[in-house]
Structure 1
Amino acid sequence: MKITVEHAAFAAAVTYVSRALPARPPVPVLAGLRLDANNGRLRVSGYDYEVSTDTSVAATVTKKGRALVSGRLLSDIVSRIHGDVHLELKGPRLVLRAGAARFTLHTLPFSEYPAFPEPGSPAGTLPGPAFAEAVAQVVCAVSKDDTLPFLTGIQLHHDQKAGTLTLAATDRYRFAVRTIPWKNCDLTADHTALAPGKALLDAVKTAAADTTVDLTLAGVAGADSLFAVRGEHSTTTLRALDGALPTFKNLFPTKFHHTATVNTAALKAAVQRVALVASKDSPVRLTFTHDNTLRLEAGTSDESQAIDTVESPLEGDELTVAFNAVYLLDGLNALTADTVDFHFVTPTKPALLRGHDTDDQALQYLLMPVRLNG
């Protein structure tokens, strides 16, 4: 193998694939990053039995070939070099040159490297930017607790009648749901599957700039337990998680007694200020009043305290509710709307946050309040 590749493109490909490599690989070769040069392109790929990543960049291929090298080491190297990258395989060593820098890397044995999984046929096509945005919006509600693996996933549900794909995630304290239409869908019935949340987010980030993305849903004919996200020059497969999320339609209220509208940027800034004195046992308290004022408080009389206010028109009776500050900020950031509506049934029941004047397909963020003493 002997090739020359532009640095920025090579660095982006290596970074993308290396992000999915296991920190503690079950076998040493799975820490490797695979390089395949042929037909004017360099293919960069990795696999850890759960996730496979595959992307390619344009390259000047003087001699085709392949090499398997340490992904972490190569990622560190490409982040610190400049200029076009020259790669040449010399026996069991890969020589990398860029500018005045030269590295000689040990290669790993291809004979021990497992075969990549074969992704099934695409179930449909999605706009790359819209799909990436939808995943980024719901991933904030994915659980970080690995003791319940199904809560670390994003559920994807195909609605055959509506021709839509609904993404949902929850950690039991909040529920994020977003729906997007998709084209050329080849499914004939409703279908639901659970994808690993972080891995799906990494996959769609790479394809976010692509006009369209092909998506294979795990569990459909020919796909077995694999999701596949295919962009213009990248493919990621993800092994589905077992289990299913709660039926969220039964959790989201449809009738409300209180509705408040707040400027998102102003509210985020106020929450961040008062949250400086908040703790797990002292959440941020929000009081909505009839004089179009939202009063935010945190802390106690025995500790530090903070108070701030923002404008907020209210429909319904005045109320006071408390939220975990981090969860509230996550929802406000995910909504990406200039103005947010808070819908309440009672101060002790989950509140629904959504962008002002948005439709039912836009992000809906259901947030559990923190019960206040007294």
Structure 2
Amino acid sequence: MKIRLERDVLAEAVQWAARSLPTRPSVPILAGLLVRADADGVMFSGFDYETSARISVKAEVSDEGEALISGRLLADISRSLPAKPVDITSDDTKMQLVCGSARFTLQTLPVADYPALPELPEATGAVTSAEFAQAVSQVVVAAGRDELLPVFTGVRVEIEGDTISLLATDRYRMALKELTWRPSSTNASAVALVPAKVLSDTARSMTAGEEVVLSLSAGPGGGSRGEGLIGFEGHGAGGDRQTTTRLLDGEFPKVRHIMETPPLMNVRVNTAELVAATRRVALVAERNTSLRMAVGDGSITLEAATGDQAQASEALEASIDQPGGGDAAVSVVGFNPTYLLDALGAFDTPYVNFGFTAPSKPCQLTGLAEPDGEPLTDYRHVIMLMRLPA
């Protein structure tokens, strides 16, 4: 194999393909990055039996061929090279990189031992890349991180016609985002449980092109069960990118109905002001204790303390209404400050609405374009309230 390509093209392609390689592979061969050159250019690909990534870029190819090399080492080297064209040659045992006066010789791995990458399933539809990246970032904040409960570490992707719904929960909070897309079939209908980390990394890395093509292959059990596979494909100036990952197995909890509970009290606050106040007051919040929100007449007050050592409070102007009338639904509630900041950070609207039902019941957050406008229900975030000491 003998190829030449620009340093920036090489560095971006290798880093993208190597980003999902395991740091501690179950077998050493999985730490490798497969480099394959043909008349169309060069493809860099990696696979750990769960997630695959491949990127194709243009290059001057003198001799076609393939080689398997340590992915993370190649990524480190490509980043450090001077801004000059890079010549790469390889034989059965060595790969050589020459860039200006810099020269590296690397030991190759046996290509014959490398597993075959899965093929992309048939395209299910396409979605605007920037909109998809934002939607995923809003939802993954509510996904679990405990690998002992894998079903909570996923994002449930629901496809129904021209609508995609993304839903995640870690049992203490929940996020739902709905967006329109361009399905391959007008009667498209599917459900998949996708690892949240893979989905987040993929959505962020596919923004170079205008669209992301989703390809879904359900397992024999249908939906999110069995050996299902989901693929993502994007095209941009940095090359053609493809990622696949196996779907998570297990039954996602039926939690969506929680979002349909009508609120007894709405509290509307400026988002930026609330984020800033929450960060200040939370500085004195003791570990595993709540940040209290006291609802008053036309205002809310945030309070936190660390025993007798430090206390903080801050009042903010708020608009309060009770759709059902009657007495106030809540007067003081407790939030996990981290969960509250995560939720507020996911909103891109100038105002946010807190929909309360009772002090010990979940609270639903929705965005507002104006303080007296209707809540925007395309993104909803639910937080379980913390019990306050009597």
Do the structures match in fold with TM over 0.5? yes
How far apart are 1:158 and its partner, in Å? Answer: 1.3
Deviating runs (4+, > 4 A) in structure 1?
220-224, 357-361
- State the Cα RMSD in Å: 2.1
* Equivalent in the alignment of 1:32: 32
Aligned to 1:348: 360
Q: Secondary structure at the match of 1:17?
A: helix
SS at match of 1:259: strand
Rounded to whole Å, the distance in 2 between the matches of 1:262 and 1:306 is: 19
Q: What is the aligned partner in structure 2 of residue 257 from structure 1?
A: 264
Cα shift at 1:341: 1.0
Alpha-carbon shift at residue 299 of structure 1 (Å): 1.1
* Letter of the structure 2 residue corresponding to residue 105 of structure 1: L
Counterpart for residue 336 of structure 2: 324
Report the Cα distance in structure 1 between the residues aligned to 2:94 and 2:189, rounded to whole angstroms. Answer: 51
CA distance change for structure 1 residues 310 and 62 in 2, over 3 Å: closer, same or farther? Answer: farther
Total equivalences in the alignment: 371
Do the aligned partners of residues 322 and 359 (structure 1) sit closer, same or farther apart at CA in structure 2, a change above 3 Å counting? Answer: closer
Structure 1 position 284 matched with structure 2 position 287: no
**Deviation of residue 81 (structure 1)?**
2.2
1:305 aligns with 2:317: no
CA contact (8 A) 2:193 2:248 kept: yes
Counterpart residue identity of residue 242, structure 1: D
Q: Residues of 2 paired with 1:4 and 1:271: CA distance?
A: 53
Q: Decide whether the 8 Å contact of 1:268 with 1:332 is kept in 2.
A: yes
1:210-250 Cα deviation digits (max 9, x unpaired) = 21221112417999510011112111011000113222332
CA shift, 1:360, in A, is 5.8
Aligned residue number for residue 122 of structure 2: 121
Equivalent residue number for residue 12 of structure 2: 12
Tell me, in whole angstroms, the C-alpha distance in 2 between the residues paired with 1:81 and 1:262: 50
Amino acid at match of 1:152: T
Rate the CA distance shift 1:325–1:159 in 2: closer, same or farther, 3 A: same
Provide, for residues 176-210 of structure 1, a one-character-per-residue CA deviation record: whole Å limited to 9, x for no partner: 10011121333746321101110111122221232
Distance 2:101 2:165 in 1: 51
Check conservation: 1:4, 1:86, Cα contact below 8 A: yes
Cα 1:77/1:254, change in 2 over 3 Å: same
CA contact (8 A) 1:213 1:230 kept: yes
Q: Which amino acid aligns with 1:371?
A: R
Unmatched tracts of structure 1, length 5 or more: none
Q: Which amino acid aligns with 2:308?
A: D
> What is residue 195 of structure 2 aligned with on the other side?
196
Aligned to 2:229: 226
1:166 partnered with 2:182: no
Matched, 1:274 2:281: yes
Q: Deviation string for 1:6-38 (max 9, x for gaps)?
A: 222222222222121112212211100111122
Q: After TM superposition, give the deviation of residue 279 of structure 1 in Å.
A: 3.1
Amino acid at match of 2:207: A
What is the CA–CA distance in structure 2 between the aligned matches of 1:329 and 1:67, rounded to whole Å? 47
Select between 308-317 and 101-110 the one with higher mean Cα deviation: 308-317
Work out whether residues 18 and 71 of structure 1, in 8 Å CA contact, stay in contact via their aligned partners in 2: yes
3-state SS, counterpart of residue 330 of structure 1: helix
Q: 2:381 aligns with which of 344, 353, 365?
A: 365
CA distance in 1, matches of 2:382, 2:77: 43
What TM-score do the two structures reach when normalised by structure 2? 0.90
Is the 1:206–1:234 contact (alpha carbons within 8 Å) kept by the matching residues of 2? no
Residue number in structure 2 paired with 1:244: 251
Cα gap change, 1:372 to 1:159, in 2 (>3 Å): same
Q: CA deviation at 1:274?
A: 1.4
Q: Residues 135 and 218 (structure 1 numbering): CA distance in 2 closer, same or farther, change over 3 Å?
A: farther
Contact map agreement 1:142 1:152 (CA 8 A) in 2: yes
Displacement of 1:253 after TM fit?
3.8
> Comparing 348-357 with 221-230, which one deviates more in the overlay?
221-230
What is the alpha-carbon distance in structure 1 between the residues aligned to residue 88 and residue 54 of structure 2? 19
What displacement does 1:281 show? Answer: 2.9
- TM-superposed CA distance for 1:301, in Å, is 4.2
- The residue number in structure 1 matching 2:215 is 216
**For each residue in 1:290-320, what CA deviation from the matched residue of structure 2 results, as whole angstroms up to 9, or x when unmatched?**
1x32211111442322222222222233621
Q: Is residue 2:52 matched to residue 1:52?
A: yes
One-letter amino acid matched to 1:369: L
Question: Is the deviation greater in 258-267 or in 85-94?
Answer: 85-94
Q: What does the per-residue CA deviation read over 1:327-374, in whole Å, with 9 as the maximum and x for residues that have no partner?
A: 111111112222111111112111111111576652110001111011
Sort the Cα spacing of 1:9 and 1:309 in 2 relative to 1 into closer, same or farther, 3 A.
Answer: farther
Equivalent residue for 1:293, pick from 299, 317, 320: 299
- Please list, as runs of the form range in 1=range in 2, the aligned pairs for 1:173-192 lying within 5 A after superposition: 173-186=172-185, 188=187, 190-192=189-191
Q: Residue 12 of structure 1: SS of its match in structure 2?
A: helix
User: Aligned with 2:252: secondary structure?
Assistant: coil
Query: Which segment drifts farther, 306-315 or 345-354?
Result: 306-315
CA contact (8 A) 1:264 1:340 kept: yes
Write the deviation string for residues 96-129 of structure 1: whole angstroms up to 9, x where unpaired: 1234322111111001001111221011111111
In the aligned structure 1, how far is the partner of 2:291 from the partner of 2:275?
A: 12
1:338 to 2:350 alignment: yes
Farther-moved stretch of structure 1 (141-150 vs 189-198):
189-198
Identity across the alignment (%): 39
The alpha-carbon distance between structure 1 residues 46 and 361, as it changes in their structure 2 partners (threshold 3 A), is farther
Q: Tell me which residue corresponds to 2:325.
A: none
